[in-house]
Amino acid sequence: AELRAALPALGGLVLCAGIDGAPETRTAQGNELHMGVNHLGHMLLAAELTGLLRRHPTPARVLSVTSSAALDAAPQFFDDLGWQKNKYDRRQAYCVSKACNVLFADHLAVREGGRVLAAAVDPGPTVTQIVRYELPQRAQQRQGMSTEQLARQAKQLGYRTPDQAGDVVASLLGERAAPEFTSGGLYLGVLSPPGQPGPLITEPIPWRTPARAAKVWENSA
C-alpha cells in the first residue's frame, strides 16, 4: 500500500525470496513453507504491484528468480502443492516451488499480453544463506565472511557470488537487454559463466505446459 501511494509507476520487479531444505513446516496461513516463501509470497507481491507495473510508460519487467532444481520437479506433486496427500519430501518441495516460479512467469506473460513482460531467471548456484537448513555451519560461516572470502569460496565450489548473481538479474532488467529479453522465457544461468545470463531454454520440460501454468495460477490465487 505504501509503494502504491508513493510511486506513480514501477518499471521492474524482482521476485527472489527463497528457502531450501526446510523440514515440513506450515506458514501462518497453513501453506507448506517452501511454497509459501518461494512462490505464494512472490505471487501476492506481484498482484499487489501489477497496477504500478501497468502504468509504466514502457512495458515493465517482472523477473521470477528460479533455480535449475526446478528441472527435477516431479509432475505428480503439482496436484498437491500443499503437501496434504503425499509423503513430505523436502527436496521435491523445493524443486516444485521453483518450478512454480517458472510457471508463474509463463502465465503472467500470457495474462498481461505485452503490458507487463515476465520471465524466469536462474542466476546459477550462489554462495548465499539458502543453505541454512541443510548446511547450518556453512551458513553461519558465510555470515562472517568478507566479500573476498565469499569470492574465493564461490570459485572453489564453481558457484556465483551474490554480486555475480545480482548482475545476471540486473542485466535482464536494463533497457540494454531489450533485444535479448523474451517475455515468457526461462534463462538458465547454471549453463553460463558466472555473472552472465543463461541461455533461453526452448526445449520442452515435462511439467512446463500452458495448462499447468494456468492451473497453478488458479490454485495459488
Q: Which residues are catalytic?
A: 94
Distance CA 88, CA 73 (A): 14
Longest dimension (CA), the chain: 48
Dihedral sign of CA atoms 204, 88, 218, 120 in order: negative
Helix intervals (H) in the chain: 2-6, 33-35, 41-54, 90-112, 136-143, 147-157, 162-173, 210-220
* CA 87 to mean position of chain CA atoms: 25
